[in-house]
Amino acid sequence: QVQLVESGGGVVQPGRSLRLSCAASGFTFSSHGIHWVRQAPGKGLEWVAVIWYDERNKYYADSVKGRFTISRDTSKNTVYLQMDRLIPEDTAVYYCARDLYSTGWYCDNWGQGTRVTVSP
Amino acid sequence: DIQLTQSPSFLSASVGDRVTITCRASQGIGNSLAWYQQKPGKAPNLLIYDASTLQSGVPSRFSGSGSGTEFTLAISSLQPEDFATYYCQQLHSYRLTFGGGTKVEIK
């Protein structure tokens, strides 16, 4: 069965960096886009970034563009989210999600999430 | 950027009720819209995509309709496990946007 497992969350000071990982299994990893979606405490869902099946096409929300970088390693079936220059507004549970298709349309399978807290 | 506005933001209903949730887009998006259900402490679950296509494994009491700027999620007969928060989501210019959510609670 499709499984996505996030890791790498934690507490970090503003201005510092953190790298999240999303380990995928149970499907053909190279055939699907992968998204990161976050949810601040008590708030709704906010899309963060997507990387297409081809590793070349990457798109970001305006709120993270220039600070976050998404990448994928097909040899490890893993997607990463490098988060630099973190700010308190980045505090959230971060979910990775598989796209229904090879690019980026809809999130049909989700991980359990990893919590990121940005605090002095 | 395209904005998605859900209404109502909160809904109180009883088991067996028919429930509808509306999602309005700030400009036309064709049928590129999905609906998700999220329960407390859990990841979202895809219910509907392409505005009206039921995701595999989702009960048939859920249905979606609409195109352009106005979309609806309907639950024909609310079940105890349906009390949750529902989000719409659209794709435009390769970026996704979620609506603000509708919380469905037990009356």
**In this predicted model, what pLDDT tens digit does every residue of B67-96 receive, in sequence order?**
999 999 999 999 999 999 999 999 988 999
What is the predicted pLDDT for the residue at A61? 97
Is the Cβ of B98 closer than 8 Å to some Cβ of chain A? yes
Contacts of B44 in chain A (CB under 8 A): 37, 45, 95, 107, 110
Is the Cβ of B34 closer than 8 Å to some Cβ of chain A? yes
Is the Cβ of B49 closer than 8 Å to some Cβ of chain A? yes
Residue in B with minimal Cα distance to A96: B43
Task: Kindly state the average pLDDT of the residues A32-43.
Answer: 98
Structure tokens of B71?
């979309």
Is the Cβ of A76 closer than 8 Å to some Cβ of chain B? no
What is the predicted pLDDT for the residue at B1? 84
What is the predicted pLDDT for the residue at B89? 98
Task: Kindly state the average pLDDT of the residues A19-36.
Answer: 97
CA pair distance A88, A41, nearest whole angstrom? 12
What is the predicted pLDDT for the residue at B82? 97
Task: Kindly state the average pLDDT of the residues A91-119.
Answer: 96
Contacts of B46 in chain A (CB under 8 A): 100, 106-108
Q: Which of A37, A59, A95 sits opposite B94 (nearest CB)?
A: A59
Q: Which of the residues in chain B have pLDDT under 50?
A: none
Task: Kindly state the average pLDDT of the residues A62-80.
Answer: 97
Q: Which of A44, A50, A103 sits opposite B101 (nearest CB)?
A: A44
What is the predicted pLDDT for the residue at A11? 98
Residue in B with minimal Cα distance to A65: B95
Q: Tokens 């503003």 — which residue?
A: A14
pLDDT-based confidence at residue A104 (cuts at 50, 70, 90)? confident
Contacts of A56 (CB under 8 A, 6+ apart): none
Task: Kindly state the average pLDDT of the residues A51-68.
Answer: 96
Task: Kindly state the average pLDDT of the residues A45-52.
Answer: 98
| Residue spans of beta strands (DSSP E) within A13-104 | 18-25, 34-39, 45-51, 58-60, 68-73, 78-83, 92-99
Q: How many CB atoms lie within 10 A of CB B7?
A: 14
Q: Is the pLDDT of residue A27 over 90?
A: yes
Is the Cβ of A50 closer than 8 Å to some Cβ of chain B? yes
What is the predicted pLDDT for the residue at B93? 86
